[in-house]
């Protein structure tokens, strides 16, 4: 009975199509049932080492990657407290709610934040970042976002990195909803710090934050005076390189790490390029369906292949649509965040997602719009999805 409740009852199949948490592949779910290994054993250290190596492939880096039991935001906070001192100057290039979170965290710690905020729906203007860096030569770091989950926009990290790499500042990227979904090359693009969460493209349950650190970023650690204890990179790095096999300073999230080992295995098996191509295909199909329904995409900049944000038609509330799809159809999508609450809905298509998820998502949106009284030609959205999926 309890299980029936959790999975939505026998007669209602549940889907999770939110931009995180995402659905978990069956073998990754099964990995959670493995017995707990004590975290100070060679057996666990071996698994942890394997996960570390695997993450380097997913992140496309040779840099060290630290793993903390935390929400993605914990990883973000760690990237503030370890690199900076009170009064330090940083640039936050935000393109939505999550980017603006960088500024909130930094301000909470007394950091001097220069805000290069874009209009919601747009990506960062590279020129503005360049100008801010030129006007503030003492900038310690630039913080930005890869896939802005609140607006459905993909930011041009490669171009931003080109600008930042020419200066003494480090580039810190929130890739929480982008990693494992859209193209990202940490080393080739010269990204210094990459923060990733568990419950998005990495396809495991919530609870892990991963942080990759370049040499340029590591050089900032000794001088950083912001308060920290649990999130100390210096402590975590020591444990990572202490012996032949890596470790964590405090108790590791054993089960989540074992699940991560399995999800990385799946990503390797498919191949990262194919993972990115699959996301691109599903995303283009969802966008085609939305367009065919006469709805407007919110992302005016490059749309993210991880999440599609859609403006609500005149007179309809995004939250009402979202609620109907969730409560009546059993499909969890997402509404608008922050100032866009009620004005949009968002379809997540990242991680364990495939072509037919696009059909389900658009069918649900179409049906809900009909039930909420919008006049649409039924089948139009789904037809466009299928046509897009059939394109070679
Ligand atoms: C989900 C998300 C986060 C925050 O993750 P939490 O685990 O909720 O703290 C940060 N940034 C982006 C872009 C996200 O999508």
Cβ burial, residue 266 (10 Å; 0-12/13-18/19+): middle
pLDDT tens profile 240-269: 986 678 889 999 999 999 999 999 999 999
Interval between CA 127 and ligand 1 midpoint (Å): 26
| Residues in a beta bridge with 147 | 154
Q: Which two tokens stand for residue 307?
A: 């999440």
The domain segmentation of the chain, as residue ranges, is: 11-22+272-390, 26-268
pLDDT tens profile 52-82: 999 999 999 999 999 999 999 999 999 999 9
CB 140 within 8 A of CB 82: no
pLDDT tens profile 283-292: 999 999 999 9
**Would you give the end-to-end CA distance of the chain in angstroms?**
45
Handedness of CA 6, 8, 9, 14 (dihedral sign): negative
pLDDT tens profile 125-170: 999 999 999 999 999 999 999 999 999 999 999 999 999 999 999 9
Q: Classify domain 11-22+272-390 by CATH number.
A: 3.90.1150.10
* Cα-based distances in Å from 77 to 84, 214, 348: 11, 17, 25
Closest to 232 in 3D by CA, of 242, 222, 243: 222
Q: Which two tokens stand for residue 331?
A: 């499909």
Q: Does domain 26-268 have CATH number 3.40.640.10?
A: yes
pLDDT score at 94? 98
In angstroms, rounded to a whole number, what is the distance separating the alpha carbons of residues 61 and 159?
18
pLDDT tens profile 6-22: 555 556 789 999 999 99
| pLDDT (mean) for 190-208 | 98
Collect all residues with Cβ–Cβ distance below 8 Å to 274 and sequence separation of at least 6. none
| pLDDT (mean) for 294-312 | 94
Name which residue sits closest to atom 12 of ligand 1, judged by CA.
Answer: 176
| pLDDT (mean) for 309-325 | 90
Name which residue sits closest to atom 4 of ligand 1, judged by CA.
Answer: 72
pLDDT tens profile 333-353: 999 988 889 899 999 999 999
In angstroms, rounded to a whole number, what is the distance separating the alpha carbons of residues 136 and 176?
28
Please list every protein residue whose CB sits less than 6 Å from any atom of ligand 1: 19-20, 71-73, 98, 145, 147, 149, 174, 176-177, 197, 206
* Ligand 1 atom, smallest distance to 146 CA: 13
Higher-pLDDT residue of 15 and 3 is 15
Interval between CA 374 and ligand 1 midpoint (Å): 33
């Amino acid at each position: 009975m309890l299980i029936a409740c959790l999975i939505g009852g026998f007669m209602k199949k549940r889907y999770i199509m939110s931009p995180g948490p995402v659905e978990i592949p069956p073998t990754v779910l099964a990995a959670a049932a493995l017995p707990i290994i004590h975290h100070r054993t060679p057996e666990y250290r071996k698994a942890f080492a394997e996960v570390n190596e695997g993450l380097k492939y997913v992140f496309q880096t040779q840099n060290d990657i630290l793993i903390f039991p935390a929400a993605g935001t914990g990883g973000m906070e760690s990237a503030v407290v370890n690199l900076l001192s009170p009064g330090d100057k940083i640039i936050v290039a935000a393109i939505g709610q999550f980017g603006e979170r960088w500024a909130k965290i930094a301000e909470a710690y007394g950091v001097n934040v220069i805000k290069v905020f874009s209009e919601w729906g747009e990506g960062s203007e590279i020129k503005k970042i360049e100008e801010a860096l030129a006007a503030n030569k003492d900038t310690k770091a630039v913080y930005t976002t890869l896939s802005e989950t609140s607006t459905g926009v993909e930011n041009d990290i490669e171009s931003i990195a080109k600008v930042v790499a020419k200066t003494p500042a480090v580039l810190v990227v929130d890739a929480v909803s982008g990693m494992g979904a859209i193209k990202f090359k940490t080393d080739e693009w010269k990204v210094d710090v990459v923060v990733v969460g568990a419950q998005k493209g990495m396809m495991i349950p919530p609870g892990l934050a991963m942080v990759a650190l370049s040499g340029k970023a590591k050089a900032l650690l000794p001088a950083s005076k912001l308060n920290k204890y649990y999130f100390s990179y210096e402590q975590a790095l020591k444990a990572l390189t202490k012996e032949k096999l890596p470790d964590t300073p405090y108790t590791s999230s054993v089960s989540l790490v074992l699940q991560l080992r399995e999800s990385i295995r799946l990503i390797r098996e498919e191949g990262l390029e194919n993972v990115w191509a699959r996301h691109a295909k599903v995303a283009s199909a969802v966008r085609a369906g939305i367009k065919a329904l006469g709805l407007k995409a919110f992302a005016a900049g490059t749309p993210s292949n991880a999440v599609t944000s859609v403006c609500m038609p005149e007179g309809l509330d995004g939250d009402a649509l979202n609620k109907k799809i969730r409560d009546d159809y059993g499909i969890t999508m997402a509404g608008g965040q922050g100032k866009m609450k009620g004005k949009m809905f968002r379809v997540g298509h990242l991680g364990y997602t495939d072509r037919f998820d696009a059909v389900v998502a658009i069918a649900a949106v179409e049906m809900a719009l009909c039930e909420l009284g919008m006049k649409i030609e039924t089948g139009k959205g789904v037809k466009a999805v299928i046509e897009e999926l059939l394109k070679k």
